[in-house]
Every structure is written in structure tokens, then in C-alpha cells.
Amino acid sequence: MLRKTFIIVGLFAIAMAFLESAVVIYLREIYYPGGFGFPLKPVSGTVSVTEVFREAATMVMLVTVALLAEKDNLKRFAFFIYSFAIWDIFYYVFLYLLISWPSSLLTWDLLFLLPCPWTGPVLAPVINSMTMILLAVLIVEGRKNGSSFSVNLPEWFLLVLGSILTIVSYLKDYLYFMISHFHNFGFFSLRPSQDILEYSARFSPVHFNWFPFIAGEILFFIAMFDMMWRIKRFSSTADD
């Protein structure tokens, strides 16, 4: 049954990835007919707001399929991060198949827009996605057959702290770029002024913050190794 759920949720995420890649291809045909790259081209406020809400709708869809996939809240979390990861990986797969982009895993991309633009080389979200798949499988395995296994407080702490470090690696340079010019955080508005849109488009990432990213990944794996050890202990106790 769980294998079937993984397959169905995975198919949903792959279909979503194709839709996402199709939208991005249309946007690139309009704004980047010569090829996507930084600095970005300014867009209208309407397009900017539409893109933010499109990404919010994507998150709602991923949460919804996770809620439908399971009744157990921890498994729901697992299927959410699993669907997110599959969606993210296949988004790049479809872009490569359709327009031969990215040219390498170190190609820079605009990754996300909530609450502000995330940037990084394609390799970074791919690594995160593979980690999320491993974590999802681990949680579902731990909860298999009605087990009382759960993620404990220290593990949640490591996962949350690792997530914060990862997010910092994606946002740090952009936030520094914007805060150095706009001191009132007005660029967080859902309807930023044209001045903010034009200035933000000048941002061009150069060096990715690998240190907090790698630190975050290390924390994820420490938490997962602890979970694996406890799952083994749960299994041994059940066998006895």
C-alpha cells in the first residue's frame, strides 16, 4: 500500500513539474528570447504578483496531495517533502529535455520567490531534494505497520536548524543587496513599487554560500542517522 502511495504521489509531482517547466518556458520566451541569465529583466507588478501567487498555489497543491495520501500527520509531512523533492528534480529534468537548460548543475537559477527571491546553482536544490526523499522514506519506514516511532525533539531541532541554514544560503546575498538600498523592507510587499522591481532585477549572484548550505546538510544527516538507529532499535524490540 505504501509503495502504491509513493508511486501515485510521485506521478502527481512529476505532472506538476511538467506544468511548472512549461510556464517557465513561456516566461523565458517572452522575457529571455536570447537565453536566461542574471541580471534579471524587470517585470511588471502584475506579473510579479502573479508569479508569487502561482508559487503559493504550488505549495497548496503539494500540501493537499500529502493530506490526501495519509491520515497520519507525520506521514503527511513525509509525503509533502517527498512530493516537493520529486517536483523539484523533475522540473529541471523537463527543462533540460525541452530546452537543454541548465547547461550544468552549477548553472545559476532563480529558485523560488517566497518571501523573496532565492538564488543558487541548480546543484543545491537537487541535493536538498535528494535529502528530502531520503528523509521521507525514513519516516514512512519508521511508521510502517502502525509503529509508534516518531521524530523526537532533538531531531526536529536539527532538521529545523538545518532548514534555516539552507534558506540562509539561498537568501543571504539577495537580502544584503536589497537592504543596502532599501532600509524599510518594502521589497517584501506583495505589490512592490516599480522602483523596487527594477532595482531587484539588477541583482546578479556570483558566489553561493556553500558553508551554511553544507552545514545544514550535515545537520539533516545527523538527524537521519539518529532516526535510523532508533528505527533499528524499534524493529529489534518488535522482533523480540
- Tens-place pLDDT, residues 195-226: 777 778 788 898 999 999 999 999 999 999 99
Do the strands 108-112 and 118-121 form a parallel or antiparallel pair, or are they unpaired? antiparallel
pLDDT digits (tens, 9 = 90+) for 50-84: 988 999 999 999 999 999 999 999 999 999 999 99
Contact (Cβ atoms closer than 8 angstroms) between residue 202 and residue 155? no
**Domain carrying residue 49:** 2-239
What torsion, rounded to 10 degrees, do the Cα atoms 64, 109, 85, 155 define? -100
Predicted TM-score (pTM) above 0.85: yes
Between CA 144 and CA 142 the distance in angstroms is 6
Counted domains in the chain = 1
| 228 vs 155: CA distance, rounded Å | 11
Q: Summarize pLDDT for 145-171 with one digit per residue, the tens.
A: 667 789 999 999 999 999 999 999 999
1-15 per-position pLDDT tens digit:
678 999 999 999 999
pLDDT tier at 19, thresholds 50, 70, 90? very high
Angle between helices 123-142 and 153-179 (to 10 degrees): 160
